[in-house]
Amino acid sequence: MKIYTAPMAGITDYSFRKILKKFEPDFLFTEMVNANLLNREDGTTVNELLKCDEKEKTGTQIFGGDRNELVSGIFKLKDFGFRKININMGCPQPKITKNGAGSALLENFELVEEVLLETKDIEADISLKIRVGYREFQNPEIFLKLANKYNLDFICVHGRTQEQMYSGTANWEIVERLSKMPRNIEFFGNGDLFDPFEIKQKISFCNLDGIILSRGIIGNPWLILQTREFLKFGKINTIQTFDETKSIVLEHLENIEENKGKIKAVLEINKFLRPYFKKFWEKNLNKNSEIVTVEDFYDENLKGKIDKIILEKEILEKIKMIKQL
C-alpha cells in the first residue's frame, strides 16, 4: 500500500516537506500551484511554491479553469523537472471554484479531456484528484473511465462533495465502489484519514493501490510511519513522544527560518503548534484510539503555554519557550 502526502496550500511548503520526508512517505507533493500565476512566472510561485531538492520523490499539483492555461502550465512544470503532475479537481474553496477550477472542473468533462489529450505524450506522469460531487454533478465514474482512457498515473478520490467542504464525513462507500470498477491505472483513496486503526477500517473493503494523507499529517507526520506499520504488521512500533515532538517543532521552525527568514518563521510556525502538541493536553484523545500512537504524557497547562508561544514575536524567545515546555 503506497502512502503519499497531499498538496495543501499554505501547509506542504518546502520547510514542512523536509519534516515529512523524515517519516518516509512513498511520495510527496508541493503546495498546489495556480496555472495562471505559473504561466506568468510569478516569483512566489516559481521560487517558493515549487522549491524542491528531489523531484524524483516530489510531484506538484496544478489548478485552473482555463484549458490553455492548464496545458501550458503542465508543460512548464515538466520543464521545471517535475515528473508527477496532478490536476486538482477536488479543492472545494469558493475562491477557487468561482473561476471554474478545483472541484468545479467536475462539471467540465470536455475541458478535462482536452487537457489530457493535449498532454498525453508529455514526458511526465499525469494524474487526477477528484471529489465525488459538485452541484448537479454526481457521476465520478466518468473520470475513472477518462483516466483509464488516457492511461494516467493514478486517480485519487476524496469521498466528499464540494458542498460538504471539510464537514461531515467522507463517503468511503463511494470510494469502495469506484475502486472496484475495471481499471488499468492506480487508484488512491483520500478523506478523513487521521488514525491508523480507522484508516485500516476504511480501506479494508476497497481495492486500493494507495492512500493520500492530507489534514491528518498537519502537526502529525508520525501518521505516515504509524499507518505503514499498522497496515503491514498490525501493530505500531513508532510512538510519538513529547520530547521528539519538541525536537521536530524546533527543526520545522529552523527550516522556515532558513527558507523564508526570521519574520515569516515566527508567524508561519504558529499554524502548526497546536496540531503538533494537542495530543498532550487533550487527555481523552489518547484513549479514543484502538491503538497507542502517543506516549502517555499529559500536561493540563500545555494549551496555555502553547498559546503564549504563538503570541511571542521574537524568534530566540520563541525557541527558548519551546525548549522549556
Q: What is the average pLDDT across 98-126?
A: 96
Tell me: do 145 and 249 sit in the same domain: no
Q: How many domains does one find in the chain? A: 2
H-helix segments, the chain: 14-21, 35-39, 43-44, 67-79, 94-97, 109-118, 141-149, 172-179, 196-203, 222-233, 242-260, 262-268, 270-277, 285-288, 302-311, 315-323
- Residue 285's pLDDT band, with cuts at 50, 70 and 90, is low
Tell me: do 42 and 160 sit in the same domain: yes
- Residue that is last in its domain, among 179, 211, 233: 233
Tell me: do 171 and 252 sit in the same domain: no
Q: How far apart are CA 95 and CA 260, in angstroms?
A: 26
Q: What is the CATH number of the domain that holds 117?
A: 3.20.20.70
Which residue range(s) make up the domain with 202?
Answer: 2-233
Q: Above 90 in pLDDT, residue 267?
A: yes
Residue 17 is labelled as binding a ligand: no
- Residue that is last in its domain, among 169, 200, 233: 233
Per cent of the chain over pLDDT 70 is 98
- Residue that is last in its domain, among 170, 198, 233: 233
Tell me: do 151 and 249 sit in the same domain: no
Judge contact between 221 and 19, C-beta under 8 A: yes
**Most distant pair of Cα atoms in the chain: their distance:** 58
* Alpha carbon distances (Å) from 31 to 2, 12, 17, 44, 135: 20, 5, 10, 12, 26
- Residue 262's pLDDT band, with cuts at 50, 70 and 90, is very high
Residue 179 is labelled as binding a ligand: no
Reported as a single tens digit per residue, the pLDDT across 169-181 is 999 999 999 999 9
Residue 61 is labelled as binding a ligand: yes
Tell me: do 195 and 272 sit in the same domain: no
Tell me: do 96 and 137 sit in the same domain: yes
Tell me: do 202 and 251 sit in the same domain: no
Per cent of the chain over pLDDT 90 is 88
Residue 94 is labelled as binding a ligand: no
- pLDDT at residue 298 in the model: 86
Q: How far apart are CA 235 and CA 23, in angstroms?
A: 17
Tell me: do 33 and 160 sit in the same domain: yes
Tell me: do 218 and 283 sit in the same domain: no
More confident of the two residues 143 and 288: 143
- Note if 91 is an active site residue: yes
Tell me: do 226 and 246 sit in the same domain: no
- pLDDT at residue 136 in the model: 83
Tell me: do 44 and 136 sit in the same domain: yes
Tell me: do 158 and 50 sit in the same domain: yes
Residue 252 is labelled as binding a ligand: no
- Residue 300's pLDDT band, with cuts at 50, 70 and 90, is confident
